[in-house]
Structure 1
């Protein structure tokens, strides 16, 4: 089944999805092969990674991320959204941060391998890195659609607001 059809089938009827519902739907989508996935993979342009919103309704949005070798995202949150991502290709290093005395500091990191999910609770601050020699491709679902995201710098710098639309 085509990727967009599968996304619409699994996610299109959700109105106020929970993190568990988003994760379950994303696992169902990722359990099938999608020969048309390559059509949705964008090369980096303004960011260090490719980012393509491939599906959006009032309740959620779906994004394909292409993180090239030895690249990373900015440290960021997801505004008022929850989310889930599944790695479709490669391995991702997810680094979690916390705010301590108005400073951003690393809390812990872990690898997410092909077929595994990464959950983003409300208020999570993290960055994704690819330390491999091959690209990392992931499929992300956020509810509600992303807005009012913030990026952060380590070593106590104040957050810089960034709307990634």
Structure 2
């Protein structure tokens, strides 16, 4: 299951590309390609760029209990993330003209995904007792370490 926030619209010029949530889910399901590379850092969330194409970047992140992001957006990037293991909570906020409004909480379990786009800010948190892993896709690529 994945959810498309109402303020996230696909870019018409990219209609032929695979949707970021499809890419995230396919990578998440193929754990043998990347699971051996996952690490955990008790001081900060760990992340690794798995690969990059002309259309998108794919990252894997690990989250120990209590680790979180700050409230942030992804600039001009569209994207999605899929929870592979553990439980993550997303606080999603629609951002219009620099104001934050329309806040919602989403508890995500393995196999669930969220998408994001313009005017979408969120905070992701591992509130559970167990570590979590997630796969993130950014389109176009970020060229910097992701916040989520």
**Distance change in 2, residues 1:146/1:72 (3 Å):** same
Secondary structure of the corresponding residue to residue 89 of structure 2: strand
**Distance change in 2, residues 1:60/1:29 (3 Å):** same
Give the TM-score normalised by the residue count of structure 2.
Answer: 0.74
Q: Distance in 2 between matches of 1:42 and 1:137?
A: 10
State the shift of 1:125 in Å. Answer: 0.3
Q: Deviations over 1:19-57 (max 9, x none)?
A: 86222233233334x235333323338x73111111112
Equivalent residue number for residue 78 of structure 1: 74
Q: Distance in 1 between matches of 2:75 and 2:133?
A: 23
Counting matched residue pairs gives 134
Equivalent residue number for residue 28 of structure 1: 26
Instruction: State the Cα RMSD in Å.
Output: 2.9
The question of whether the paired residues in 2 share the 8 Å contact of 1:19 and 1:83 is answered with no
Structure showing greater radius of gyration is 1
Which consecutive residues of structure 2, in runs of 5 or more, have no partner in the other structure? 1-12
State the shift of 1:106 in Å. Answer: 7.2
The question of whether the paired residues in 2 share the 8 Å contact of 1:19 and 1:121 is answered with no
Task: Find 1:113's aligned residue among 100, 109, 124.
Answer: 109
Give the TM-score normalised by the residue count of structure 1.
Answer: 0.68
Q: Distance in 1 between matches of 2:17 and 2:91?
A: 20
Pair 1:43 & 2:40 matched: yes
